[in-house]
Amino acid sequence: MERSPRRTATYPWYVIPFLLISFAGVAYPVYVIRPFRYQGPRELAAALAVIQVRPLIELACAVCVLAGLLWFWRIQPRRLQRILAVAGTSLVCAFAVLSRVNMFELMFHPDAHPQFASIGQAKVDPDDKVLAVKLGGSARAYPIRSMAYHHIINDVVGGVPIVATY
């Protein structure tokens, strides 16, 4: 039984929407929630909403393309078409796996050993904002620009262990 070329050519059009949805589920929150960029309240709320529903959506996309691949594999005899179908399906599945990884934990590591300089030696731009802590007669200033890379700094100020964050 000969397969119709029209039926076998539909799989790429079937995969593309799932590929775009699964890519957007991973890329949009990373784009919105990144350092040194202002996030508007609606934009941030949308990114956080995507993060909440993303696992279910990514799972649904992966299941749909895997089912489509099984169907396509049976009707498509050409090897190149099968390879391309597997590649598209693999990308959707890869995005589904990536959606389970908290990229922000990978990007930002607490600074457990901060280095300090005296006020006279500190190289801080006069316009830079700092997070200041004063405890037991000791004081520290953490430049926000430096904290953006770590978000958390573990330190001891005036003999008291603290966690500086913003």
pLDDT value at residue 120: 74
Residue pLDDT, tens place only, 9-54: 678 788 999 999 999 999 999 888 876 678 888 998 999 999 999 9
Check residue 130 and give its pLDDT. 85
Q: What angle do CA 5, 92, 101 make, to 5 degrees?
A: 175
Cα distances from 31 to residues 34, 46, 55, 116, in angstroms, run 6, 12, 18, 32
Supply the Cα-derived Rg of the chain in whole angstroms. 25
**pLDDT tens, position by position, 125-160:** 778 888 889 998 888 888 887 777 677 888 888 888
- Confidence band of 67 (pLDDT split at 50, 70, 90): very high
